[in-house]
Every structure is written in C-alpha cells, then in structure tokens.
Amino acid sequence: QDLSGDGTCIAVGAPYYDGGMGPASSANTPEGQEYRAYYQAENSAMYHNGCVRIYEIGCDGASVQKGQSLFGDYSNALFGASVSLNTLGDHLTVGSPGSGGVMGRVRQFKYAAGSWQETFSFDGVTTADGLGQCVTLSGSGTFMAAASANADVGGNAEGNVQIFTGSSGTWVAHGNVIEGNGGAADPNHLSTVGINDAGDRVVIGAFQGNNTGGFSMGGMVKAYKLVSGTWTQVGATIDGT
C-alpha cells in the first residue's frame, strides 16, 4: 500500500486477487468496450491476476473509493505487488512482477474525469526478471523508479533498477540502469527503491545483498546521485548484520 504525500489518498494492492474485468485501459472507446467484454468471456477464471483500489480520505476521516478498481491483465500477473502515488494522489504506478511469464510489467495511471486511465506501461527484458517487484513515484509524479528483483545480467540474478522521467504518457530513461553487483554466492535481489522529488537521488535496498563476502545475506542499502547523466553511488554501503 501507499499514501499520497498530502495524506488524502491510499492505494491498496491485492496481488493474489482472483478475477477482475480484464485490461483496465481497454474500456475507453466503444471498440475497447467490445474487446473487454470478449476478454471477460474468454478469461472468466482469472487466477492471481491482482487488483488495486484507491481510496480518498475525507475531512471526517471516512474513506471512499476513488475511481474504478484496477485489475491485472493475466493470471499470475500479481498486479498490485507494489503501488506508488504522487503527492496529490492523481498519478499511480503499479508493479505487476508476474506478467509475461514472470518477465514483469509496470503500469502508469492518471486520474481524470472520475476514472483511472492508463498512460504508460513497459515490460521486463527477459523471463524471470520480475519487473515491478517494487516501484516508486516521485512526489511530483514526473520521476519513476522500478526494480527488477531477479534481472540476470551477470548470470546470478543480481537484479537492477530503472529510472524514468516523463508526463502525459511519454516516459524516457533517466540515467543508466543501476545493476546489482552480487556474485554467485551473493545475489543482490534488488527489492526496494525510493526516489526524491527532484529525481536526482535514489536509494536501493537489496534484501539478500552481501557486501562483506561469504554466504551471509544480511541485506544492504545503497544511495545514488545522478551526475552528468550517470547514477553514481554516494556514501558507503549500509550493510545488515
């Protein structure tokens, strides 16, 4: 779950939810509505596709659902495994690490005219990347970071983090991909990420990271700063015990 910066909206993910209405973005046109009806008929037994709901907290403390419920596209998509809202609660990023045979997917939504409209999505590169295990959106809603917990660049499922900048459905890479650096006995499994409002600093957690050698997996945290278009570590790695 996530809370908007102004404290008025809550996003709640249920990645193991079964069922749903099919692609949330497909009902914006008559053709999309027809496809959505077909999709529901063909996929009535959705399993672990996932669901996300956003709630608005009123002055009296009561919560009311904001917009429609959002659902994963496919069985085992685990849509809602991670969610992030901007400060105003009108931009939402959702991770779906089980999509595409665990390749993973990240989907971006904007709230307008009483409903959540999908504006952007991107997939992991290879099977088992698990893109979307963790996502975070800056307070301004113009920077987004997403972790692929098991991205296998070095052959040991070290994981990586991608950062994007954009608005109005156009998102581009913001700096280089930050790769985990674990060894064969030391996978990083990058699993948590945070980004500041200016989009020039990120912090990344690796729950199985080991910066001390051997087989100990106490976890680690690293901070990065964007310098001339490249993410550069700042400060020492913080190791778990």
Each residue of 1-46: pLDDT tens digit? 999 999 999 999 999 998 765 554 444 445 555 555 555 555 555 6
Alpha helices in 30-139 (DSSP H): 30-42, 99-102
DSSP conformation letters of 185-237: T----EEEEEE-TTSSEEEEEETT--SSSTT----EEEEEEEETTEEEEEEEE
pLDDT reported for residue 99: 86
Angle CA(121)–CA(126)–CA(129) in degrees, nearest 5?
A: 75
The predicted model gives 121-142 an average pLDDT of 88
Mean pLDDT rounded to a whole number for the chain: 82
What backbone torsions phi and psi does residue 219 show, to the nearest 5 degrees? 90, 165
Which residues sit opposite 106 in a β-bridge?
Answer: 95, 122
Look at residue 214 in the predicted model and tell me its pLDDT: 47
Find the range with the poorest average confidence among 44-53, 129-138, 192-201, 207-216. 207-216
Give residue 148's pLDDT band: very low, low, confident or very high (50, 70, 90).
Answer: confident
Pair of tokens at residue 14:
């249920």
Indicate if the pLDDT at residue 98 is higher than 80.
yes
Residue with tokens 């008025």: 8
Query: Residue 217: what pLDDT?
Result: 62
Tell me the whole-structure pTM to 2 decimals.
0.82
Per-residue pLDDT for 208 more than 60? yes
Of 108-122, 175-189, 223-237, the poorest mean pLDDT is in 175-189
